[in-house]
């Protein structure tokens, strides 16, 4: 695709319209020189010209910019170039915490939903087991079950319907479709059995249940629909909890990073944000300081605590020619080193990236399950429809 003919925004809109989500990185930029709305507009235009930037919002009151961009399509180096062209500077770049907050909020919502669903399912099952063979009791009890199961179906189970609709729009079916169809069938049949309880069809079905299955049953399946949704949401809660733990680990790794580096430039030492360090800079590290970027020792010797990388608590001796890594701690002497890897190329950044990629990647068995589900789900629905129509035609 020729990027001059298609904007990244239109590609994202088309992809999202097909039912897919594009993960966006959100970064908060603290800038200097953005002191008016006119400059803020220029900054926004400069960012939006970068291929891969989805959206940008500049607040001139505090000099910050919230940038949403597609990872691997663009990077922060292009942000510096864009800002420099309009004579502003970026002081620091940090990850927007809203992504982590969204995961935490989603986990809390899933917890409330699965607990509510399973409690409702358990309550309905308990009341259904009461040994009272009274049709009027069953009639009014079913309305109570209906009231309990409805919020489970359309509040706790809302995500299954939205994901099913997205799957249908891209002409495919997945496990969400099977969950939505299965729970909806149980729920809709139960609603019909409740509303038309005294109809002969449902009376016969009710009698068969009482005789063959349980001592008592109301002839509805509200417990089934609630239990299906509850158990699936329990699984998704456990999955989201693991993701939240991974996100928390990434946040802790980010907190290990130094904010500034003491760099020699023009025969003078000055502290600059680590985002401004470039390969080849000579960096001075004093006792007790964190090493800001990866590099190779040039002058001096010291012991460095590398436990955050290796887990080894004993400091490692560093002499000229040895490698040092970002976020490790200089414990004893001072030394100077030449920066080799900066920004997203440091060992720490690579660890963070691997954790992030592992969090979003799928295991091979999971990809196999997805492929099987694309055939299994339509097959199950077709077989269920055939059985239903055969029962209507040939059944008692």
- List per-block mean pLDDT (blocks of 10 residues) for the chain, which spans 396 residues: 55 66 76 77 86 81 79 77 84 65 82 95 85 64 92 94 82 83 92 81 64 58 93 91 76 76 86 85 90 91 86 87 89 89 82 69 68 82 90 80
Distances, alpha carbon 126 to alpha carbons 98, 134, 156, 249, in Å: 42, 16, 21, 42
* In contact, 118 and 69? CB cutoff 8 Å: no
What pLDDT, on the 0 to 100 scale, is given for residue 313? 80
* In contact, 339 and 295? CB cutoff 8 Å: yes
CA dist., res. 176 & res. 172, Å (int): 11
What pLDDT, on the 0 to 100 scale, is given for residue 1? 47
- Phi and psi dihedrals of 349, rounded to 5? -60, -35
What pLDDT, on the 0 to 100 scale, is given for residue 61? 64
What pLDDT, on the 0 to 100 scale, is given for residue 154? 95
* Nearest in space to 325 (alpha carbons), one of 346, 356, 302: 346
* In contact, 143 and 127? CB cutoff 8 Å: no
- Name residues whose C-beta falls within 8 Å of residue 327's C-beta, 6 or more positions apart in sequence: 253, 256, 257, 258, 290, 291, 308, 309, 348
What pLDDT, on the 0 to 100 scale, is given for residue 216? 47
What pLDDT, on the 0 to 100 scale, is given for residue 150? 95
Alpha helix ranges (H) inside 256-305: none
Q: What is the pTM of this model?
A: 0.64
């Amino acid at each position: 695709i020729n990027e001059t003919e298609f904007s990244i925004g239109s590609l994202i809109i088309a992809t999202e319209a097909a039912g897919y989500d594009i993960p966006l990185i959100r970064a908060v930029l603290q800038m200097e020189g953005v002191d008016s709305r006119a400059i803020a507009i220029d900054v926004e235009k400069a960012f939006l010209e970068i291929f891969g930037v989805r959206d940008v919002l500049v607040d001139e009151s505090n000099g910050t910019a919230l940038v949403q961009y597609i990872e691997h399509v663009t990077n922060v180096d292009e942000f510096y170039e864009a800002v420099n062209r309009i004579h502003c500077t970026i002081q620091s770049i940090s990850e927007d915490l809203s992504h982590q907050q969204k995961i935490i909020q989603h986990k809390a919502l899933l917890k409330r939903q699965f607990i509510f669903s399973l409690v409702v399912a358990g309550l309905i099952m308990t009341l259904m087991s009461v040994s009272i063979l009274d049709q009027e009791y069953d009639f009014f009890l079913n309305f109570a079950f209906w009231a309990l199961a409805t919020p489970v179906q359309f509040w706790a189970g809302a995500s299954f319907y939205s994901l099913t609709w997205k799957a249908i729009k891209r002409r495919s079916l997945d496990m969400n479709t099977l969950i939505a169809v299965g729970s909806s069938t149980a729920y809709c049949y139960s609603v019909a059995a409740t509303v038309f309880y005294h109809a002969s069809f449902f009376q016969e079905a009710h009698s068969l249940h009482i005789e063959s299955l349980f001592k008592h049953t109301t002839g509805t399946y509200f417990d089934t629909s609630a239990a299906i949704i509850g158990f699936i949401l329990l699984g998704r809660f456990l999955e989201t909890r693991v993701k939240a733990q991974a996100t928390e680990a990434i946040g802790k790794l980010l907190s290990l990073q130094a904010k500034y580096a003491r760099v020699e430039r023009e025969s003078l030492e000055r502290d600059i944000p680590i985002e401004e360090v470039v390969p080849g800079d000579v960096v001075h590290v004093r006792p007790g300081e964190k090493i800001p970027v990866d590099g190779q020792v040039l002058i001096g010797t010291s012991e460095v605590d590398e436990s955050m990388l290796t887990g080894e608590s004993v400091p490692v001796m560093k002499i000229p020619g040895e490698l040092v890594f970002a976020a490790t701690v200089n414990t004893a002497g001072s030394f100077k080193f030449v920066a080799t890897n900066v920004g997203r190329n440091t060992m720490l950044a690579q660890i963070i990236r691997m954790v992030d990629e592992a969090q979003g990647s799928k295991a091979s068995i999971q990809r196999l399950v997805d492929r099987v589900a694309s055939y299994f789900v339509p097959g199950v629905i077709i077989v269920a429809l055939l059985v239903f129509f055969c029962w209507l035609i040939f059944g008692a």
